[in-house]
A and B are shown apart, each in its own frame.
Chain A
């Protein structure tokens, strides 16, 4: 079952512009994570934001979390051609035990044009 759903499915921007991707989820979470995947490769972890946090930054990345709306956004500022990749949100449900596994959305394909 997919918990997170990204929006848009595909995004094309010019180099230097900002890119914003959104993620919505259905149930209460322990944390939400964003990952990046270059074509045909494994995923790389970008940021983890806990349910009691509202915003986190890492370099050119800014993640926000709104638990009342069950949504998160990933902002990439001053985008570069090398940012071209698929971006996935993944949620860990609130609670304990074997149900606390990462559940991935279907991803946003970002293309940054030079």
Chain B
């Protein structure tokens, strides 16, 4: 089945640690995105990539980093520079920018 897979579903981070969230898609989509969702709020764009080996900052990129070495994969690293990382992280992909987006099931990150 085609789809977009995020792992892990739950992640706990200690203060000062970097953690990496995985996002893999087998939809052959060019565009991939990372969003952050805080309780009761909408989604805010962290990073996006329109093509392999290229990515752009979104509205809240500070404290985050990404890579796009393969078309299928767009991992997000939450660095120690992100002071308030506890949130629900959603990865999405689309055939091209501005088209229908397909979302993964999300990773809930908690700082302990």
- In the assembled complex, the Cα of A44 lies from the Cα of B40 at a distance in Å of 17
Tell me which residues from 18 to 65 in chain A have a Cβ below 8 Å from any Cβ of chain B: 30-31, 33, 35, 40-45, 48
Asked if residues A45 and B98 are in contact (CB atoms below 8 Å), the reply is no
- Asked whether B98 lies within 8 Å of A42 as measured between CB atoms, the reply is no
Q: Mark B43-62, 1 if CB is under 8 A from A, else 0.
A: 11100101000001011000
Which residues 78-114 of A have a CB within 8 angstroms of B?
A: 88, 90, 92, 98, 100-107
Q: How large is the interface on B (under 10, 10 to 19, 20 to 34, 35 or more residues)?
A: 20 to 34
Question: Are A41 and B105 in contact, CB atoms less than 8 angstroms apart?
Answer: yes
CB contact under 8 A between A1 and B106, given known A92-B98, A106-B42: no
Give the shortest distance, in Å, between B2 (CB) and chain A (any CB): 14
Q: Does B15 contact A (CB under 8 A)?
A: no
Chain B contacts for A14, CB-based, 8 A: none
- Give the A-B pair count, Cβ closer than 8 A: 60
Residues of the A chain whose Cβ atoms lie less than 8 Å from the Cβ of B45:
101-103
A48 to chain B, nearest CB (A): 6
Q: Is the CB of A104 within 8 A of B42?
A: yes
CB of B101 within 8 Å of the partner chain: yes
Interface residues on A, range: 20 to 34
- Please state if B98 and A100 are interface contacts (CB–CB under 8 Å): yes
Say yes or no for A12: interface residue by CB 8 A criterion: no
Q: Which A residues are in CB contact (< 8 Å) with B35? A: 104
Alpha-carbon distance A40/B40, docked complex (angstroms):
11
List residues of chain B with CB under 8 Å of any chain A CB: 6, 33, 35, 40-45, 48, 50, 56, 58-59, 88, 90, 92, 97-106, 108
| The 4 nearest A-B residue pairs measured at CB | A42-B103, A104-B43, A104-B42, A106-B42
